[in-house]
Amino acid sequence: MAAAGAGSLCSARLESVRALSGLLREARRREVAEESVFRDLLEILTSASRAIEQSCKDSCVLADVDTCLLLIAECFRCLRNACVQCARNQHLLRNLGLISTSVHLVKLLHGMQVKEELLLPALRCSLQFLGNIAAGNGDSQNSLWKCAFPDLFLLLIVTDHLLPCPELVEALYAKLSDQERVTLLELMLAKVGEKSCVGSEELEVLESHAAFLAGCFQEQCGAVLGFAAAAQAQDQEALVTVRLLDVLCELTSSSGQLDRLQALPGLLEAAVDTLRLTHLAGKQAVNVFTATHAVTGQEEVSHPAVGFKSHLIRLIGNLCYKNKENQDKVYELDGIPLILDNCSIDDNNPFVNQWAVFAIRNLTEQNERNQELIAGLEEQGLAEGSALGTMGLEMDRREGRLILRSARKKPS
């Protein structure tokens, strides 16, 4: 189809496709949508691809490019809506070849020499469609993987178009190797760490991955114990766990997703249980989880698990911030003595003392039972080495109430 023909087609069909997009928002209409409707959308996208390819080949400007891009975006919006909680349409669209057509078109869109603001709606809707067609559908995930990896996947990472599509991230994450997951998580970590440099909308997009990443951490947190053996220092599955924890620490440091993450079932328990297991592993044998006060070699400094227990305590502290239910949950899990037992200076866990102070303050704020527990441990000598003193804290009784405060501020 000639470039001019593409422009005429765009103008004629844009309004009808917009109307269809609205209809497909309704579940009952999605379930009864005819295959011919999707064949028409496929034909529009195929024609648009040809027009874009021709314009690139001949170094000419696509006629009515803005309307053409709007039509592409609207077609993908229809397809995106059609796949929402509808396995029937996921299978139908995959069998029609819309995954391969869409991946090809996304690559073409990236190569177009037009203003970014014209491309963004089409790119965003195309990626949302790919995410929706693969969501919870193993066959579609496999098909997407064959078409998109590695070229499109790497392209999207480099151009920052992947992270704004949570469904696509989840679908691709399931197919990544551990080494590739580490790369993706490090990208996320870098983005989340740029809170002051990114807009609120972009940060909100990054935080939309929080529940998914928390679930991944819960599933494989035990893998980090592979680092207890020196020979497993390059264990990629264990490194994935480390990076998941790093990202969760950053996400829970932001108010945007804190309430949601605090309410997730299992995340706090996973953090406490993993802290207990790594602490025990460090006591049973000398390894990276063993507390040390003198680094003996460069290998220990660069070990990927250095700081892991510090970050677990940081995550626990974040999840308990002004949250009575989680404060009580840590009490029930016997997590408070565990944190106190990890508060001494440890070269394998930089700043562990500071994060322990932070966690204990969050655990005891307006929680008398937790305050009483810590006071009882101190009085019985069960908090090893006077843990509160090591942390620069002390419990003070005033009018029958316990107050946690800095030991330096004790009145003479």
Q: Write the DSSP assignment of 277-294 as a string of letters.
A: HHHHHHHHS-STTS--SS
Q: Which DSSP helix (H) or strand (E) runs through 140?
A: helix 138-148
pLDDT at 284: 93
Answer whether 169's CB lies under 8 Å from 216's CB.
Answer: no
Q: Which amino acid is at 246?
A: D
Distance of CA 348 to the CA centre of its chain: 26
**Sign for the pseudo-dihedral over CA of 113, 49, 107, 83:** positive
pLDDT over 60 (residue 382): no
Give the C-alpha distances (Å, rounded to integers) separating 129 from 84, 125, 143, 386.
9, 6, 14, 57
21-30, 52-61, 195-204: lowest mean pLDDT where?
195-204
Closest CA to 307 of 224, 392, 229: 224
Quick: pLDDT tens for 156-171. Answer: 887 778 888 888 999 9
What's the chain's Rg over C-alpha atoms?
A: 27
**Sign for the pseudo-dihedral over CA of 224, 229, 230, 231:** negative
Quick: pLDDT tens for 286-304. Answer: 999 999 876 554 444 578 9
Question: Other CB atoms closer than 10 Å to residue 408's CB: what's the count?
Answer: 8
Which of 203-207, 363-367, 394-398 holds the top average pLDDT? 363-367
- C-alpha 38/C-alpha 80 separation (Å) is 12
Quick: pLDDT tens for 112-129. Answer: 888 888 899 999 999 999
Residue 146 φ then ψ, to 5°: -65, -35
Cα(first)–Cα(last) distance of the chain, in Å?
89
Closest CA to 91 of 23, 38, 139: 139
Give alpha helix (H) positions in 3-115.
3-23, 27-31, 35-57, 65-82, 87-95, 98-111
pLDDT over 80 (residue 77): yes
Q: Which amino acid is at 412?
A: S
Q: Which residue has the tokens 């057509």?
A: 101
- C-alpha 218/C-alpha 319 separation (Å) is 15
Q: Which DSSP helix (H) or strand (E) runs through 394?
A: strand 393-398
Helix (H, G, I), strand (E, B) or coil at 396: strand
Q: Which DSSP helix (H) or strand (E) runs through 258?
A: helix 255-263
Helix (H, G, I), strand (E, B) or coil at 395: strand
Reported pTM: 0.81
Q: Which amino acid is at 170?
A: E
pLDDT over 50 (residue 1): no
Closest CA to 350 of 286, 302, 407, 406: 302
pLDDT over 70 (residue 85): yes
Quick: pLDDT tens for 237-283. Answer: 999 999 999 999 999 987 677 888 999 989 999 999 999 999 999 99
Q: Which two tokens stand for residue 124?
A: 């965003």
Question: Other CB atoms closer than 10 Å to residue 297's CB: what's the count?
Answer: 7
